[in-house]
Amino acid sequence: MYKALDKLNDRQREAVLATEGPVLVLAGAGSGKTTVLVNRIAYMISEKKINPWNILAITFTNKAANEMKTRIERLLGDEAADIWAGTFHSVCAKILRSCIDFLGYGRDFLIYDTADSRTVLKECMRELNIDEKSFPPRNVLSIISNAKNDLMDPATFENTYRSDYRMSIISRIYYRYQTKLYNNNAVDFDDIIFCTVKILSENPDVLMRYQSRFRYILVDEYQDTNNSQYMLINLLAQGSRNLCIVGDDDQSIYKFRGANIGNILNFEDDFPDMKKITLDRNYRSTQNILDAANAVIAHNRGRLGKELWTAKGEGGKVITFTGANEYDEARYVANEVKKYYEENGVFGDCAVLFRTNAQSRVIEEVMMREHIPYKVLSGLRFYERKEIKDIIAYLRFIHNPKDDVSLARIINEPKRKIGNATLDRAREIAAVNELPLYEVVSHADNYPEFKTAIKKLLDFSKMIESLRKIKDAVPLHELTERVLNDTGYMPALVLENTTESKTRIENLGEFMSVIAEFEKESEEATLAEFLEGISLISDLDGYDENEDAVVLMTIHSAKGLEFPVVFLTGMEEGLFPGIRSINSEDDIEEERRLCYVAITRAKDTLHITKAIRRTVHGKTNIELPSRFFEEIPTEYLDDRTKVFPQFAEAVRASGFGDIVTTNKNRYLKSEKKSVSAAEFLSFKEGDTVEHRSFGRGTVLKATPAGNDCILEIDFESVGFKRLMAAFAKLKKVK
């Protein structure tokens, strides 16, 4: 008998044993879903004698996939190596290596990251003479990405939006963009899944092969799947129907990436005979924290329904604080962090969460002033640094000389006096003669148009060819060393001899360490395998949980993490939930799920903070408490504003009372008014008003506050403003 079953609770044990048929494991935050997945796989192999290679386990991040593999290896040893476990993208990339030729691509295809995709897109727009100001590339790329996630190829996209002027122009860009990718033998991130689904849908023999291979499929974080991922899983699962999805509808927070919460909510429609198992025992947080989370998420209508509980005990109440402004809020956070450090001797237990990256600036300033070590989990990552992207581009081009994007990046790096004019001329010749760009560069002596650039181009191609000759004959680390030296890249940095160049040399040294580690872990350690691996690395894969520093991060980035102490900052209407969400019930529900995720990151202590006034984009506004804050019953809250006299005095000076009160009359005490309170309270949603400075606007929301009214107004000239009726001197426009 599988002994590990004894360590599981009843619901977890049930989920492990239910190996046949469709199963939905509704796993609440901190309920041990990874434990269930790992033990389920180990049980299937050790007790049910299921072949490891017949099991497919899909997660959303490399970190989660690696953790799963490591834990399975501890239980099973070498047998774990034959399990297909990885992210959607890594699994699909592996499938495509064996069958992408069905779509006309070569099996040595490249995967373009976001920066590469944007480069190609801009090139397409230049060729089509489309203005980037009218069609921002980032926005166009997002629309194309959404189309691919919805499995719309350029022809379908064109047909769908034929009558829409703007989208019809984007359709032209989409056509050109996809053609360039194809000519470069490259795919973008969305293509990885799109192409896999297309091949499986159009080739029954290929589909049958993988259905036979994957007899048992497990999918983690199913609530975050988009339409193409949903289709992929359904195609593969229709063979054996042994599909186990694990997820939490209350933690679906990636709608902006195309995630469709309906995939988990409607799972029973696809598999009417499915078995549902709810994991509602939380092993992470105290009961007071869970009660606060339960109270907030209960206001959502679109959910399957569950309530988290724990055996950890009640714990302390959720601590709340109101600052007069964002600096007061940041000082409170810093003081509490220092206090925790004095008592526990560690900074890394603390995490500061915020809805938007812009909120981190003030917190960072105060942390620096107070000499508190911190790290922001965002910004420039290792693989985004110029020198790293340059060397990767060299390796990619050596691997695939059809890669025009990499060629454009490296042809004059380091400086070879091959300018943009020469490169543009080469592009024109390639387009006219329907040749790959490198074919033109490597035969520059056939084109007198290059004039004095002929020798430079030929020297470059000779250098590339010498490296291509050895790419399969020497170890990867030796090839990379040759690239660094033979291209002149490293000598140029050494000759520069500046602080910046020394830092870049250090980073390249770290890159060599990455390759050494890769060679140690991979049996074949091929260039193709290495390039594919680094293409699929996510931002959070480099997060070191053992580094002793306060972590500053957005709530989205915090998904899947946990901390003993969490500060949830900026709990104000218009900020969390964001102003763009307040007119859509679906968006509000997604924001509420995000709040639920934030609350459940805390293990022992949760601080919720907000400010009365906050300066955003140079404008200072009066803020109301977030509706999510007000959804937490006061019996779970402990207001600490009064513990800090200097902050409390600032709050009183602002006219605001106790943060915990539900009495709206105490939010603001208006000064003597020149007109009656009844007139202030007469404003309502939809009113057209006139302001002496901001001009005409429409009232979006009117919230009574004592004898006054807080108005949220969308002005035609300056956009959104939050004003007090008593001081705004507004006139209603009849």
33, 303, 559, 610: the active-site residue: 33
Neighbours of 583 (CB within 10 A): 10
Q: Is the peptide bond before 154 cis (omega within 30 degrees of 0)?
A: no
Q: Tell me how far apart the alpha carbons of residues 588 and 610 are, in angstroms, rounded to a whole number.
A: 19
Q: What's the residue count for the chain?
A: 734
Find residue 27's DSSP bridge partners: 279
Token output for 489: 């890249």
Using the 8-state DSSP alphabet, how is residue 578 labeled?
A: B
DSSP-assigned letters across all residues of 315-342: -PPEEEEEESSHHHHHHHHHHHHHHHHH
Angle at 694 between CA 693 and CA 697, to 5 degrees: 140
Which whole-number Å values give the CA distances from 280 to 12, 46, 315, 665, in the listed order?
Answer: 10, 27, 18, 39
Contact 726, 680 (CB under 8 A): yes
Contacts of 10 (CB under 8 A, 6+ apart): none
196, 223, 229, 251: the active-site residue: 251
Token output for 499: 């602080």
SS3 state at 559: coil
> What element of type H or E holds 638?
strand 637-639
Only one residue has tokens 């870049």, namely: 504
Q: Tell me how far apart the alpha carbons of residues 168 and 171 are, in angstroms, rounded to a whole number.
A: 5
34, 119, 698, 703: the active-site residue: 34
* 33 noted as active-site residue: yes
601, 614, 640, 722: the active-site residue: 601
* 456 noted as active-site residue: no
113, 190, 191, 220: the active-site residue: 220
DSSP-assigned letters across all residues of 344-364: HS-STTEEEEESSGGGHHHHH
Token output for 153: 């190829």
DSSP-assigned letters across all residues of 258-278: T--THHHHTHHHH-TT-EEEE
Q: Tell me how far apart the alpha carbons of residues 233 and 219 are, in angstroms, rounded to a whole number.
A: 8
* 221 noted as active-site residue: yes
Phi-psi region of 114 (alpha: psi -120 to 50; beta: other; left: phi over 0): alpha
Surface-to-core class of residue 345, CB atoms within 10 Å of its CB (0-12 exposed, 13-18 middle, 19+ buried)? exposed
Contact 263, 302 (CB under 8 A): no
Neighbours of 49 (CB within 10 A): 7
221, 224, 248, 589: the active-site residue: 221
Strand spans (E) along 76-162: 84-87, 110-112
- What's at 307, amino acid-wise? E
* Letter string b/e over residues 693-707, b meaning 16 or more CB atoms within 10 A of that residue's CB: ebeebebbbbebbbb
Contact 217, 44 (CB under 8 A): no
Only one residue has tokens 């509490």, namely: 336
* 34 noted as active-site residue: yes
Contacts of 504 (CB under 8 A, 6+ apart): 385, 386, 387, 493
> What element of type H or E holds 433?
helix 420-433
CA atoms 627, 631, 635, 638: torsion sign:
negative
* 220 noted as active-site residue: yes
Contact 388, 516 (CB under 8 A): no
Neighbours of 176 (CB within 10 A): 19
Neighbours of 562 (CB within 10 A): 17
Beta-sheet strand order (sheet of 708-715): 719-724, 708-715, 695-705, 688-691, 731-732
Which whole-number Å values give the CA distances from 670 to 185, 641, 673, in the listed order?
Answer: 67, 21, 8
Catalytic residue positions, numbered: 33-34, 220-221, 251, 601
